[in-house]
Structure formats: C-alpha cells, structure tokens
Amino acid sequence: MIEEDVISLYKDMRRLPQVEVSEELRGWSYSEGLVTTPGGPLLGVSDITGGFCDKGRDVYLRYVKKVKQRDNYLLQRGRLVHEVWMRTIVEVKRSIYNLGFEATGDTLAGEASRLKDKLKAEFREKYPLIPEDEATWLIGRIVNEGYSTYSSALERQQSRSRFLEIDGLISATIPLITEFPINGERIGLSMALRADALIPPSLILELKTRPPRREFELTLAGYAMAFESQYETPVDRGLLIYVEVDTQGKRLYVRPKLLPLGDNLRSEFIERRDKLLEMILYEEDPGMSSKCPQECPYLYYCRGGE
C-alpha cells in the first residue's frame, strides 16, 4: 500500500454512494445508543468475529471452561503471513529512520536480505507445523515484494521534494500504521484492540488468509465502532485484504474489498457481542456446531479430546 494506492482509495470512497449509519449505532453513542454494553468481560473483536463457531462455543470454552487452544497448520500459516507482512513494513520504516536521507533502493535491498535471514532463523520455533520450504518461500516472497514496492516509492518521494523531514518522508513512502491500537472498553470490547492497520485519517484495514466470510466483515464493523467511541470520528468504510496462499504453485493472490460499514453490519456485531456476553455471564454451554471448520483451535476438545 503506497501513497498512490491510498489516494485512489479515498477518491473511490468519495465517489461511492454515502453510507447511511444511524446515530445510535455510532461508537460515540456508547452511553445511550444500541452500542451500550450490557456489562461483563471486555471481549476482543476476534472473540466475536473469529469465524470458528457459529454457536460461539469457542468463546464459552475460552472464558468459562478455560480450555486451552490447540494450534494447527492453518492458524500458524495465517499468523506467519501477518507477521511477515507487518514486520516488513516496520523494518522498512526503521531502515529509513536509521539511514536517513542516505536511504536508497539499493541500501534497502540489503536490509531486505537481513530481514529474511532473521525471520527464517525464527520461524521453526514459532511455526513448527509449517514445512520449512513453504515458510522460506512465504517469507521471501512477502519481504521481497514489500521492499521492492517501498524502495520504488521512496525514490519517487525523494525525487519530488528535497525538503521533507525524515518522518514526513516515511509517512509519504509508507502511508499506513500497522497494529493500530484502539481502546474498545466504552463499547464492551478490550482496551487493547489491535487493528491490522490504519490508513490515515480513518480507514481501517484487516488482512485475512482464510476464505471470505461474513464474520470478517463484522470485524471491520467492530473496529469502526471502537474507533468512533475513542476518537469520535466517523468510519463509514473499511478495507478487507484477502490473501490466498497457493502452496503448490507458489503464488499469493491478493484481493482487496472496500466495504461499507452500515447499520446491518453494526447491528449484527452488537447482537453477537450481547449474545456472547450473556452466554459467559450465565455460563451457558451453547453446544457443538454442526459445521466445525478444521482450523478451529477447539476442534480437538469438541470432538472428544482432552
């Protein structure tokens, strides 16, 4: 995501029909609107929209029964893609800060090699269920793509102006903030929410490596209301980035989806939040789902494991 992409996104949003959002479903209406929390534990957005169990039994097992999650290949692969993507962005920024105006496409290329070596050295301990050749390919592909994209963007910014301060140069080169913190306690969510990224001023980005589903759209609605409750700034659209990993053909397919965050998504998120909070407060086991996804970290327990 570079400056030209961001400008294009905001132009697209301006040309699209206005998103109608009821005042009572804005995050800043937490003291009197439908987003008012009924009380109970502060849930993470992923608790509500993880997409693992249509009955919410994963949340019941986590908060009431205190059952430990069990990792699996699909979850580890998703975390690996997220981590490499995030750390590539962070390390490009760090490189430019360290090198200052001496940073060039060539110097960043050397930094990319060092980051790949570091990530490859770490991956076995963090992601033991991913085959080494697959992890090596994913790390190399994401890091190379990121550094190549931002090296070109850096050189374009340097050619346009010699009067930027280093912080401005970095913001123009990489116009997004990864792991953006949001305090969601006003609407019954965690105080330490982390959206995958924020594209200033108010476009929230989420990266997903599992197939598209309704829950992921609800994720953006939840972050939008939490952002509104903290900053009292409207968030009418969000950006979902679906990343499909083809391990056989060694390809990554990236599909962006600009999503209106209107009343339907917001209402559904709130309904799910309230249902899960009630389930936790009354310790009611909702029972097993009839369609458990293989990546669910509680599948082993529901299927009779210890």
Listing DSSP states for 17-48 in one string gives PPPP--GGGSGGGTTTSTT----SS-B-HHHH
Res. 282: pLDDT tops 80: yes
Say if CB 169 and CB 158 are below 8 A apart.
Answer: yes
pLDDT in tens, 65-94: 999 999 999 999 999 999 999 999 999 999
Of 59 and 248, the structure prediction assigns the larger pLDDT to: 59
Pairing state of beta strands 237-246 and 251-260?
Answer: antiparallel
pLDDT at 32: 86
As given in the structure block, the two tokens for residue 47 are: 């608790």
Give one DSSP letter per residue of 127-174, joined into a string: -TTS-HHHHHHHHHHHHHHHHHHHHHHHHHHHHH-S---HHHHHHHHS
The model's pTM is: 0.93
Say if CB 151 and CB 110 are below 8 A apart.
Answer: no
Least confident window among 23-37, 153-167, 177-191, 237-251: 153-167
Say if CB 157 and CB 175 are below 8 A apart.
Answer: no
Choose among 180, 181, 182, 158: nearest CA to 168.
158
pLDDT in tens, 117-129: 999 999 988 999 9
pLDDT in tens, 39-48: 889 999 999 9
pLDDT band at 38, cuts 50/70/90? confident
pLDDT at 3: 86
Mean pLDDT, the chain, whole residue set: 92
Res. 305: pLDDT tops 80: no
